Amino acid sequence: MFLIYIIHLIICYQLLVAFPTNFGRYDLFGNKNDDGNTRFFIIGDWGGIPFLPYKTPSEVAVANAMGKLGKKLNTSFQLALGDNFYYDGVQSINDPRFEHTFERVFSASSLQTPWYVLAGNHDHRGNVSAQIEYGKISKRWTFPDYFYTFSLWQSDKQKKLVDFVMLDTVILCGGGDLFDWEHTPLKGPENNFLAEVYWQWVEEQFRQSTAPYLIVSGHFPVYSVAEHGPTKCLVDRLRPLLHQYRATAYLCGHDHNLQHLADDLDGTHMNYFVVGAADIAENNHNHADDVPVDSLKYYWGGEVLLGGFGLIEVNNTQMTFSFIEHTERTLYQTIMKPRL
């Protein structure tokens, strides 16, 4: 029985390694700007509401700010970090939520660039495969699979600048059922075998990364001081890999605020950004004692606020991460250096 399990694991691992790496066709070359920077937005937990008008004032305000700022800065693409459609995802590729919560809200010309999407726990309450299929009929919705990779190349098209690894943290850790996540967070993934196969795939993508910057994105936080707090599964399994392979940053949503946390392990430094305030902004510090001492560098959230998002500007010498509120005002900035 044990031998059968090992053979099954090897076969599935080989299939997964072979298939997702074909997503190189989604690689891109950033818009060329006079200052040498390529710029892109990060947005999380942006998915409107499941009844008319299918959008919220906060989502609309964030979309407007992104549209205006994207035009000024000549941004190249967006990362969408899950909970794309509240509260139960979509049901099919023809679900009207694609039109009402996404297409009509993020309609600015500057946002007609690729959207690299991953799934959140609310998306898993619906049909995530329908979101994946939507990429076949949308010119900008890029969601080839639950896990995938892509790279940003330098303008001379000779060398990669950033490697991106997009994760489905529900498959890795569980939590697709909201009740189970809130009340039994240590329950684990629905399919332990599949999760383990994907963990092996994740490490392989980290090992293969050769770009000066490596950005890893998922929905659940590794660390967060807010309502949901740290995700033990990710602290135990993902955090050591991020440090081992010297990732530049981990981006996530899930908690509805903006946070920057930083942590050191075995002589390496890691940045964790929570970017989950595009639809709801909450002021919550329930898990302030559950993150490493002095790891929280910035926090923004509050019930009367109309939302915020992230912006990354990157070149050969540095990567600048900014939190932006709906007025286009920069709230916070930090700089990261190449890892290689």
Is 45 marked as binding a ligand? yes
- Which residues are paired to 332 by β-bridges? 323
Check if the beta carbon of residue 91 is closer than 8 Å to that of residue 128. Answer: no
Check if the beta carbon of residue 328 is closer than 8 Å to that of residue 65. Answer: yes
How far is residue 229's CA from residue 259's CA, in Å, rounded to a whole number?
A: 12
Is 122 marked as binding a ligand? no
249 — phi, psi (to 5°)? -160, 155
Is 145 marked as binding a ligand? no
Cα 63 to Cα 42, 43, 204, 257, distances in angstroms:
12, 10, 35, 16
Is 256 marked as binding a ligand? yes
Is 219 marked as binding a ligand? yes
Is 121 marked as binding a ligand? yes
Q: Which residues in 43-62 are b (16+ Cβ under 10 Å) and which e? A: bbbbbbbbeeebbbebbbbb
Is 180 marked as binding a ligand? no
> Which residues fall in the annotated binding site?
45, 83, 86, 121, 219, 254, 256
> Which residues fall in the annotated binding site for Fe cation?
45, 83, 86, 121, 219, 254, 256
